[in-house]
Amino acid sequence: MQNQAQASERLSPFLTLSREEWSRLRDSTPLLLSEGDLAQLHGLNERVSLEEVEEVYLPLSRLLNLYVAATQSLYEATHAFLGHQSRKVPYIIGIAGSVAVGKSTTARIIQALLSRWPNHPTVDLVTTDGFLYPNAELERRGLMQRKGFPESYDTRRLIRFLADIKSGKPRVEAPVYSHIEYDIVRGERIVVEQPDILILEGLNVLQTRTSSSGRPMTIFVSDFFDFSIYVDAPEDLIRGWYVDRFLKLRETAFRDPKSYFRRYADLSDEEAVATALRIWEEINAKNLRENIAPTKSRADLILGKGAQHRVQEVHLRKI
């Protein structure tokens, strides 16, 4: 059995590290986040401890810092070879994973840690929610019940955004999405102005499937990534986290008069749980199984979570 496990490890494209093994790779990296800083980065139903930051996210920030420095040197060498004047090209990190798995919190923590390294202080974070088609267009296409599926995104616009970033364009704009209104906000834009690092977080950023028109794609969102992370957990845990989040939203955001989900605010506990489970099974679980989870093996690093969002294993792609 041990020989079989060793053979499987050799054949895998990933090096698997336990939490303890991974945490030792922090080396002497200082923790520059306080409890107050961390409190602002939490998700609605996810409370990441400073211990989690120290043992999981500090080693990750050290690895990324080394990768960014190596990539910056490679860009400079390429420009020198071509005889071009060196210009600033942002390092792009993609973060993928299911609804409710905690990828947004992961993205915010990584952003906060990386921005404290002296050689790349400007770190921007953009989510792919802004590249969803507006609700009116989703209605026209019959896709409102498939919101978050690959075909519900304006992938061409997202690729154009990333291409502009990678070409060193000084000012690039992205649409803004409102989770209260559950729609694109007309007239609002996020402006990205040549950051040192751009983090792009979304459900389907590692997709390599056909476009929304059904035609095969030749350029993928992930082609623009320098590094990619997949936040993983067993489906039963994610389902539980989704239900917990739904119940908290019922008490908070759903009560906003502008909320698209205002109708759920007055559900009883039993009705709310039943509604959350129905939405999970009909939409989110289906998207996870069909579209998101199959892309996990394309990531450069996988964070494997257990109960309470605690990372238990890290899988790092072998170079």
Q: Which pLDDT score, from 0 to 100, does residue 91 have?
A: 95
For 88-112, write each residue's pLDDT tens digit: 789 999 999 999 999 999 999 999 9
Q: At what angle do helices 58-82 and 103-114 cross, to 10 degrees?
A: 70
For 256-285, write each residue's pLDDT tens digit: 999 999 999 999 999 999 999 999 999 999
Amino acid at 309: H
165's tokens: 């970033």
Alpha-carbon separation of residue 46 from 1, 106, 108, 164 (angstroms): 37, 10, 13, 34
Strands, E assignment, 179-226: 183-192, 197-201
39's tokens: 């409190």
The binding site for ATP consists of 97-104
| Weakest mean pLDDT among 29-33, 83-87, 208-212, 240-244 | 208-212
Amino acid at 278: R
Q: Which pLDDT score, from 0 to 100, does residue 6 have?
A: 56
The binding site consists of 97-104
Which one, of 269, 270, 246, 268, lies nearest residue 259 by Cα? 246
Q: What is the pTM of this model?
A: 0.92
Query: Which residues on neighbouring strands pair with residue 317, listed in sequence order?
Result: 14
Dihedrals φ, ψ of 265, to 5°? Answer: -65, -30
State how far the Cα of 106 lies from the Cα of 151, in Å rounded to an integer. Answer: 25
291's tokens: 């579209």
**For the chain, what is the mean pLDDT?**
91
For 291-301, write each residue's pLDDT tens digit: 999 999 999 99
For 49-82, write each residue's pLDDT tens digit: 999 999 999 999 999 999 999 998 888 888 888 8
Query: Which residues on neighbouring strands pair with residue 177, listed in sequence order?
Result: 184
* CB burial of residue 241 (10 Å; 0-12, 13-18, 19+): buried
Can you say how many angstroms the Cα of residue 225 is from the centroid of all Cα atoms in its chain? Answer: 12
